[in-house]
Structure 1
Amino acid sequence: MQGAWRLVPLLVLGLAWSLQVGPVLPGPLILTQEEFDLSRFMGKWYELAVISTCPHFMQRKRGNPVTVALEMQHAASESNFTTTATSFRNGTCEQKSTDYDLTNTPGRFFYYIERFRADVDAFVVHTNYDEYAMMLLLSIEKPSGNKTTTVKLYSRTMNVTAAVLDSFKTLVRQHGMSDDAVIMNQNEGECVPGAGDHSARL
C-alpha cells in the first residue's frame, strides 16, 4: 500500500473539545485524517470490524456479528450528512438512518443516539478514501455520564488487507483495548429492506 499504513499519532492535551453544534465532551484532542476531504469520504462503506469499551454493545454485537452496509450522502448546502445503515438482524433486513452534524474540524462529526440518550463525537482517524477508513467514536450517556470508546474499521469492499487490519489493531491497542477482542463482522450478503429474510440478498 506504499506506506499508507502509518497511523496518525494521537495528541493528548489538557483541553476541552469544541463542537460547532451539540454539547462539548471533555477529553483529549484527537488528530483526524490530514487534509480530510468530506466529498471523497461519502459513498458506500462496509463496517468490517469493531471493538468497544461498552460491554452491552459488545454482547449485542457478538450475538449478531454481521457486516453492515453504510451509505453516506451529503448535500453541499447542508451542515450535516446522512448515513444509512443496512444489515441483517434476526434474519430480517433492517435499515436505519442517522444524521451526522459537521464540526469546525474536518473529519470530526457529532450525532445523537436517542435509544441510549448518548452524545457521540466521531473522528475519521485515518483513511485513504478508496479502500479503508478507521473511525474513533467517543460517547457519553445522559444522565448517567457513562463514557464509551469505540473503534470501527470501514472498507469499500467486503474484504480488507492484512496490512490494514494490522494497522487497525494497532489503533485499538493505542486506546487501551485488546486486539484479541476485536469483532470481525461476517459477510451475510447485502439485503433489501422489508424483504423479510436472507433469501432477499442482492
Structure 2
Amino acid sequence: MRTMVVAVVMVMLCAMMVHADVKPQRDFNLQRFAGRWYRVGLAYDSPSFVPYRDKVKASMGIITLLPNGNANLTMWDATPLGCQSKMYQYEKTSVPGQFTYFSSRHNMVKDITVVDTNYTEYALVLKHKVFNREYTQVALYGRTQSLRTPLLQKFKAFALSQGFSRESILTPPPAENCPPSGSGR
C-alpha cells in the first residue's frame, strides 16, 4: 500500500513539474496576437470528451483588445445544435502571454498560456485547470484553416511532451458556415 501511495505522489509531482516548465512566448505582444484565429488542432484527454472526438470541427475565434490590457475572445463552435458563439474575457496576469478567465461551465478560473506564436501564422496555447484532477488542453491556432505540415508536427510534438497520447491529439476538419457568413469573418 505504501509503495502505491509513493508511486501516485511521484506521478502527480512529475505531472505538475511538466506544466510548471511551460513558459509563455518570449516578449509576448498582445496587440500582434489580436485578430482572427482558427483552432485547427486540439489535444485533450478528458474521459468525458472521448465520445465527442470524432464530431469536433475546427472553430474560429476573434481576440479583441480591451483598454485595460485584457482581451475578449469570441469563439464560434459547430455543435449538434448549430453554430454556437461564446465570449470569454481573458484577464492579463503579471506575466505577458499568460491569462486567466472564468469558466461559467465549470464555475472556476482557468489559466491560459500562449506558449509559442509567430503572430502571422500559428499559435500554440496551453489551457490548464484543476478540477477533481488536473486537466490540460493544448490547442493549435492558425490565422487560416490549414497550416503547413511542420507546424502540425510541432503541435503534435509539444502535445506529446505534455503527456498526451497520440489518440488524444486531433486536427479536426473545418466547420461549414460557422460562423455564418457575415458574423465575424
* Cα RMSD (Å): 2.3
Partner of 1:158: 145
- The number of equivalent residue pairs is 167
Identity fraction in percent:
27
* Structure-1 residue corresponding to 2:3: none
Unaligned segments of structure 2, at least 5 residues: 1-12, 14-18
Name the counterpart of 2:164: 177
Aligned residue for 1:55, secondary structure, equals coil
Distance 2:125 2:149 in 1: 18
**Distance (whole Å) between structure 2 residues aligned to residue 29 and residue 69 of structure 1:** 28
The 5 A counterparts of 1:140-151 are 140-141=130-131, 145-151=132-138
Superposed displacement of residue 192, structure 1? 4.4
Paired residue secondary structure (2:51):
helix
TM-score of the two chains, using structure 1 as the length reference: 0.75
C-alpha separation between the residues in 1 aligned to 2:149 and 2:129? Answer: 29
1:135–1:151 Cα contact (<8 Å) kept: yes
Where is the helix percentage greater, Structure 1 or Structure 2?
2
Conservation of the 8 A alpha-carbon contact between 2:59 and 2:175: no
Q: Which one of the candidate residues 123, 126, 135 is aligned to 2:116?
A: 126
Q: Deviations over 1:47-87 (max 9, x none)?
A: 01101132213433x15211111010012x21421100012
Q: Which runs of 5+ in 1 are unaligned?
A: 1-13, 15-26
Q: Structure 1 residue runs of 4+, over 4 Å off?
A: none
Aligned mates of 2:35, 2:50 — CA distance in 1: 27
C-alpha separation in 2, matches of 1:114 and 1:105: 24
Deviation for aligned residue 1:89 = 1.1
Q: Following superposition of structure 1 onto structure 2, how do residues 37-186 of structure 1 map, counting pairs within 5 Å?
A: 37-60=29-52, 62-75=53-66, 77-90=67-80, 92-141=82-131, 145-186=132-173
Sort the Cα spacing of 1:65 and 1:33 in 2 relative to 1 into closer, same or farther, 3 A. same
Amino acid corresponding to residue 58 of structure 2 in structure 1:
T
By how many angstroms is 1:41 displaced? 0.4
Whole-angstrom CA distance in 2 between matches of 1:170 and 1:178: 11
The 3 A distance-change label for structure 1 pair 192 and 124 is closer
With the length of structure 2 as denominator, give the TM-score of the two structures: 0.81
